Structure 1
Amino acid sequence: MDDFLSDIYTILFAKWILLQEVPDFETKVNEDYTEIHFYNKHADIEIVFNPLNIIEFKATNTQSGETEYYLHFQMKTLNHTMKLFKELTHYMKHIGESPTIKILLCCSGGLTTSYFAMKMNEASKLMSLPYVTEASGYNNLYYVAQDYDVVLLAPQISYLHAKACDILKDKIVLNVPPEVFAKYDVKAIFTLVKESLEIKKNQSDQKIPLPVMLDVEIKHKTLALSIFRNKQSIHVAYRVYDKNQEILLDNEVIKPIVNLQDICDIIDIARLHYPRIRYIGIATPGIIDDGYVSSTSLVGWETPERLEDVLTERYHLPVCICNDVNAAAVGYYSSQDQVSSLAFLFQPIHALSGAGIIVDNCLLHGMHNLVGEVQFLPLDLTEDKMTLSMSPEGCIEVVSRTLVSIISLLSPEELVLYCDFIPHVLPLYEEMATLIPKKYIPPITKVDNMQEYILLGTMILSTTQN
Structure 2
Amino acid sequence: MNEVYQSLLTPIIYQWAATHGNAKKGRSSCSLCFCNDHYHASIDFHKDNIIELRIIDKETQESLFYLHFQMKDMKMATENINAFFSFLQDNHTNESNVLSNVATMKDDLRILLSCTSGITTSYFAYLLENAINKCNHNVIVDAVSYTDLDNVQSRYDFIFLAPQISYQYAQMREKYGNKVFMIDSYDFATGNVEHVIQELIEEENER
TM-score by length of 1: 0.24
Q: Which has the higher contact order (CA 8 A, sep 6+)?
A: 2
Structure number with bigger Rg: 1
TM-score by length of 2: 0.50
